[in-house]
A = this chain, B = another copy of it.
């Protein structure tokens, strides 16, 4: 009986815990636990991944960091009004949200002036307390906070900078400096607390060389970056069709409209730069040559979480004939992202349990900018994921 068993419980710690994606994760795990919804959207529930020994959704305990203080119940209601989740669910999971509310802690705000060495200790402590208080067998951290701008190219270019060398970084932190983007500080705190880490955003997070070293030394697995939930997902399914049919993609225009919190963040060109870089990487890798064409991400508040992408592809076939394909994707971003966050939490927890360390390239299926691999073709990524699971 589920009620009686003493299954080991796993902690899912969300950075950006009051955001749309995070709130949808919390409503969703609660609804799944209560049998109020189906497993649609949950990749890890597909037969191909079954029997992999992943922690059950019902055995996840959710906590997290955020800067804001908007109550989770209010966030859930406004997601209900926006059609991101069914309004009728909100009262049914009210108590679970209230309980989760108690497990949220103040995050790290780069603008606050808090020295990163102190913040690191604080964040690490939050994770350890979470694990201890709830008797969790392990905790995984998933970053679903607002997208940050890319890090300074100059700092990245210097091999001796704190971004590129862990010892330099530790010395800098000890000296009261604050060299890291917030996302990377969260990753470091996770590693120091012995937690696996997933970057669902295009923020630098675990991708800095110093951070890669930190994960290695801590002996924990990590995965990223930037959840593949919309236009890029479609691209990674469609582009191989052109490639294997020897059709030459001549231009691919990508127009994205988005409201919501994420849309507001990406209205800032600096933040959008991370996202467009992450979105562009795959196409060239798949078709084998650079492809011309604009890529825009526009903030259209009216659309809320309903991301609409309109793409126009021009391609050439036999004897030089030009043809076109267009598509419009109208997806609910958080409803697409949330189940993947749950999937990734379960998978990275299993990877941790199985002793895997460093970038989990087999999780590229979930990401726009997959760490540890150049494979962007969706079906090949799927095959790699299924193989990873079957080898456990």
State which size class the interface on A falls in.
Answer: 35 or more
The listed residue with most B CB atoms (<10 A of its CB), out of A46, A240, A302, is: A302
A168 CB within 8 Å of chain B: no
Residue among B86, B234, B300 making CB contact with A325, cutoff 8 Å: B234
Chain B: minimal CB distance from A282 (Å): 14
A319 CB within 8 Å of chain B: yes
Q: Are A316 and B237 in contact (CB-based, < 8 A)?
A: no
- What is the copy number of this chain in the assembly? 4
Residue among B31, B292, B312, B320 making CB contact with A319, cutoff 8 Å: B31
Q: Are B318 and A339 in contact (CB-based, < 8 A)?
A: yes
* Cα-based distance from A247 to B38 in the complex (angstroms): 11
* Cα-based distance from A263 to B321 in the complex (angstroms): 20
* Cα-based distance from A339 to B42 in the complex (angstroms): 40
* Cα-based distance from A300 to B315 in the complex (angstroms): 13
A233 CB within 8 Å of chain B: yes
A residues sitting closer than 8 Å to B (CB atoms) are: 24, 27-28, 31, 37-43, 45-46, 48, 83-87, 89, 233-234, 237-238, 240-241, 244-248, 250-251, 253, 255, 257, 292-294, 296, 298, 300-303, 308, 310, 312, 314, 316-321, 323-332, 335-336, 338-339, 365, 377-380, 382
A and B contact pairs by CB, cutoff 8 A, 12 listed = A24-B318, A41-B317, A83-B321, A87-B87, A244-B378, A251-B300, A292-B300, A296-B296, A302-B314, A303-B314, A310-B310, A325-B331
